[in-house]
Amino acid sequence: MNAVLGVGGGIAAYKSAELARALQERGYRVQVVMTAAAGKFITPLTFAALTGRKVISELFASASDESTLASAVEHIAVAQENEVLVIAPATADLIARMAHGLADDFLTTLYLAFTGSVVVAPAMNTNMWTHEATRANVETLRRRGHIIVEPEEGLLACGTVGAGRLADPARVADAVAALNNPARQDLEGETVLITAGPTQEPLDPVRFISNRSSGKMGYALADAAVKRGARVLLVSGPVHIAPPRGVELIHVETAADMRAAVMERLPESTIIIKAAAVADYHLHNVPQHKVKKTATRLSLELDPTPDILAEAGQKKGDRLLIGFAAETERLTEEARRKLNTKNCDMVVANLVNQDGVGFEANENEVTLVLSTGEILALPRAPKQEIANRIFDTALTLRLSLHATR
């Protein structure tokens, strides 16, 4: 197996040497391509010594080689000889050039000519990573089917603490290796109904009640289920992320909309996962016009929204029902209470007042409370990994439940 390792110009470039070794340990023959900026942080000689191959860093050949046809189209040859292109670190500038199809050096030219799998491992300052331009560019790459290995949180070279640190090289190498080891198809034949994101309950034509849910956990579950062979019905509140390939997406806004969508599709589902953060209250009579601001206090009378999880629990039959509990205290106790009162088979509980996990974060740390009495604590990990652990547990749980029925 042949892989191109594209090294961008960031302080994390030194970790790419470790990544080159990790790829070799997983059976890849590695060709390194460096940007000019990458050479300011680590020398080509380091990669040549590790891989035993010439490192490419220039788009145009040297004077002694420029007359040969082979050197003139080297980026095409490299694209054809390799099955996977790994870009790590992928700087904000490099991601932007890839997203917009700019080709002004060997790496970006190679990218446009490459037809194999692409794995991108971003690394940059936290503010650069969260900037809307970078987020839009990353989503463009996702829509092209590229694998994005999300950066980790921690102390960055600039002295700040936050998301943006290059993912551990072993984790990036595992993502590459997974391309040749497709996920097991243990959900084939299942129809998984997943809710994700927040709901928005209008107060007038311009205002609404909502919450901080980003939908990332629900979308990670949908992505994992599709990759494991399931048909996925994804009922999503308003979010700003692209849906995984292969899901059947149903857009909703309010809790009432979400309830209607879930109940309509519940009969065809075999597994129901209520990961959405549904608003608990709504305004019953929404004004037709914008409420004007005055100097007086404004009071609202809010009614409870429909309890979708409880209703699904009453109608689930032999279906597996998994709920979520976002808590700030008494995590296990509240999860167990929800499990019993909503007739769930499993509740996935997490504390949302911890830094770096839960709402809006790329990682999660959850406790699984099962109807069999088991309690499983899953340590902090990317939400995609948590999603797969949830499905692993769900399938084992269903076998146990069927054995006792």
DSSP-derived secondary structure for 60-88: S--TTTTT-HHHHTHHHHHHHH-SEEEEE
Q: Is 117 helix (H, G, I), strand (E, B) or coil?
A: strand
**Count of C-beta atoms within a 10 Å radius of residue 349:** 25
Which residue matches tokens 């857009």? 251
The pairing of strands 29-34 and 84-90 is: unpaired
**Main-chain dihedrals φ then ψ at residue 69, nearest 5 degrees:** -65, -35
Q: Is 118 helix (H, G, I), strand (E, B) or coil?
A: strand
Alpha helices by DSSP H, 316-357: 331-341
Q: Determine the residue type at 232.
A: V
Catalytic residue among 103, 158, 283, 401: 158
Cβ burial, residue 25 (10 Å; 0-12/13-18/19+): exposed
**Count of C-beta atoms within a 10 Å radius of residue 232:** 27
Please state, in angstroms and rounded to a whole number, the distance separating the CA atoms of residues 15 and 17: 5
Please state, in angstroms and rounded to a whole number, the distance separating the CA atoms of residues 368 and 383: 14
Residue 344 annotated to the active site: no
Which residue matches tokens 């040969």? 68
330-333 contact pairs (CB < 8 A, 24+): 331/367, 332/367, 332/369, 332/375
Q: Which residues are catalytic?
A: 158
